Structures are given as C-alpha cells and as structure tokens.
C-alpha cells in the first residue's frame, strides 16, 4: 500500500506500545499472576515505574538499561520484545493496510511473541493464550474472505490433530513424551487463523529450522540428543514465514519440480 509515511511510523509505535504490555504477559503469565494489576515495578527495589520511564525502547536507552531508583540492570529482553512487535506490526500494516486482515493477524502475531518468549524461558505454552486464540481465530474467519469458517475449522482439526498423532505415535514407539500438549493447541490456533493449508508449511519449516538450530547447538555445546529445545518458537517462526512469504515459497517449490 502507498500511504503517507506517518501512517507507517504510527503502526510501529502502536506495535511497540503493545509490545510493552506483552512484556508484562511474558513475565507474569507463567507465575499465574494478574496482567492488569499491580502496576509495573522494578523487580529489584519494587519502585513503581512511572509513565515517562515506560516509553517503549526510548526509556530503556535514556536510562542506559538501568532502574532510575536503584540502578539495577534492566534486561535487553524488554526493548527487544517492543521492537520485535513494532516491526511485525509495521510489516503487517505495509502488507494489509486498513483491512480486517490487519487486526486479525496483529492479534495473532502478538500472541506468538508472548508464546515464543514464555516457551524459551519455561518450556510451556500457556493455555491462556492458545485456547482463546483458537476461538478468536475462528470468529475472525467469518469475516475474512480468504480464510472462511470451514477453512478455519479444518485448520483447527488438522493443526491440532496432526501434532496429536505425531506425539501419540512417538510416545507409543519410545515410551517417552516427545511433544507437549501446548504445541498441539498452538498449532490448532495457527490453523484457526491461517487455515488448514498453512499447517504442512508451518510444520515443515519449523522442523527444518528447529533441526538446523538443534544440531548446531548440540555441536557447539557438545551435548547429546537429550538436549531439550522448545518447539513453540519454531512453529511461531513458520507461521510468520507463511504470512509474509508462504504462498511465494510454495509456488517456487512447485515450479522447481517441473
């Protein structure tokens, strides 16, 4: 879309502001704490964070990654999440503009950001994100002509069912749990938002990238195959890749076999 530059700046700022709230979700959801109250405070000294110290990205840079009150270091995770969500929001707005697709995929990608960092930290995917996400994605499908409710419903069944069968088969063959229920519900959420056609692409790209990173990590750390790596972030990567380049990659893949 060809819109005035300020619209794109506003899109990034909006995404970064929401990213600040996502940091709260990432920090509190695994601890089963409210994401609404109490207000954000320094985890070291407990001082409430004022609004002017909570401006996405800029406050972190101005304060030089330290708490204003006690000067304890502040993690780079906070501006990273804000910048990541701002960038995703900008890219979505550039691609979809003022269409209903933009808020639908904005909600979806913001949820993926939360899931990714929680899974990296705790190896869990919170039901508080994935289960409502399935419902929200299905509701949006009634208003998105490129998806449709049947496509979304099949995506939920195919997404959740495919990983469930893989997890069930692995457990029967090895006697060990190889994939958690969180990944199953996450892929069902992806199917709800993106439709059943996205599932194979997401699984394949997530498995490919996950295998490359897993093997590289094991070689660097010199650990065996028992090294546990969360799969949720790779599924999230595959879903985002599908949103922006999925159809082009699929078309390219189909042409090279001719």
> Using 50, 70 and 90 to split pLDDT, how confident is the model at 3?
confident
- Position 100 scores a pLDDT of 95
- Position 251 scores a pLDDT of 83
- In order of 15, 93, 191, the CA distances from 103 in angstroms are 11, 9, 17
Whether the predicted pLDDT of 196 surpasses 80:
yes
- Position 141 scores a pLDDT of 96
Whether the Cβ atoms of residue 11 and residue 90 lie closer than 8 Å to each other? yes
The Cβ-side half-sphere exposure at 244, using a 13 Å CA radius, reads 15
Q: What is the pLDDT of residues 114-152, one digit of tens each?
A: 999 999 999 999 999 999 999 999 999 999 988 899 999
Check residues 257 and 122 and name the one with the higher pLDDT. Answer: 122
Mean pLDDT, residues 190-209: 94
- Position 33 scores a pLDDT of 92
Whether the Cβ atoms of residue 45 and residue 63 lie closer than 8 Å to each other? no
Tell me how long the chain is.
258
Per-chain mean pLDDT for the chain: 89
> Using 50, 70 and 90 to split pLDDT, how confident is the model at 239?
very high
Query: How far is 62 from 58, CA to CA, in rounded Å?
Result: 6
- Position 102 scores a pLDDT of 97
SS (H, E, C) the chain: CCCCHHHHHHHHHHHHHHHHHHHHHHHHHHHCCCCCCCCCECCCCCCECCHHHCCCCHHHHHCCCECCCCCCECCCHHHHHHHHHHHHHHHHHHHHCCCCHHHHHHHHHHHHHHHHHHHHHHCCCCHHHHHHHHHHHHHHHCCCCCCCHHHHHHHHHHHHHHHHHHHHHHHHHHCCCCCCHHHHHHHHHHHHHHCCHHHHHHHHHHHHHHHHHHHHHHHHHCCCCCCCCCCHHHHHHHHHHHHHHHHHHHHHHHHHCC
Q: What is the pLDDT of residues 88-111, one digit of tens each?
A: 999 999 999 999 999 999 999 999
Q: What is the pLDDT of residues 152-179, one digit of tens each?
A: 999 999 998 877 777 667 566 766 665 6
The model carries a pTM of 0.90
- Position 2 scores a pLDDT of 77
- Position 228 scores a pLDDT of 67
Whether the Cβ atoms of residue 243 and residue 144 lie closer than 8 Å to each other? no
Share of the chain above pLDDT 70, in %: 90
- Position 193 scores a pLDDT of 97
């Amino acid at each position: 879309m060809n819109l005035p530059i300020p619209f794109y700046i506003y899109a990034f700022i909006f995404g970064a502001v929401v990213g600040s709230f996502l940091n709260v979700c990432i920090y509190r959801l695994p601890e089963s704490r409210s994401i609404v109250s109490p207000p954000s405070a320094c985890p070291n000294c407990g001082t409430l964070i004022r609004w002017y110290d909570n401006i996405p990205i800029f406050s972190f840079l101005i304060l030089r990654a330290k708490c204003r009150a006690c000067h304890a270091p502040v993690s780079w995770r906070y501006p990273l999440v804000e910048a990541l969500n701002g960038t995703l929001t900008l890219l979505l707005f550039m691609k979809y503009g003022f269409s209903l697709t933009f808020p639908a995929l904005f909600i979806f990608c913001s949820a993926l950001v939360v899931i990714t960092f929680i899974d990296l930290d705790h190896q869990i995917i919170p039901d508080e994100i994935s289960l409502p996400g399935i419902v929200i994605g299905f509701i949006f499908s009634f208003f998105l002509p490129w998806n449709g409710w049947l496509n979304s419903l099949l995506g939920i069944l195919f997404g959740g069912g495919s990983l469930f069968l893989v997890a069930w088969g692995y457990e029967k063959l090895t006697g060990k749990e190889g994939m958690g229920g969180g990944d199953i519900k996450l892929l069902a959420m992806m199917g709800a938002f993106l439709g059943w056609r996205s599932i194979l692409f997401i699984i394949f790209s997530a498995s490919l990238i996950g295998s490359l990173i897993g093997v590289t990590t094991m070689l660097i750390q010199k650990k065996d195959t028992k090294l546990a790596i969360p799969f949720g972030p790779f599924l999230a990567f595959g879903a985002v890749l599908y949103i922006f380049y999925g159809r082009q990659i699929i078309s390219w893949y189909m042409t090279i076999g001719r």
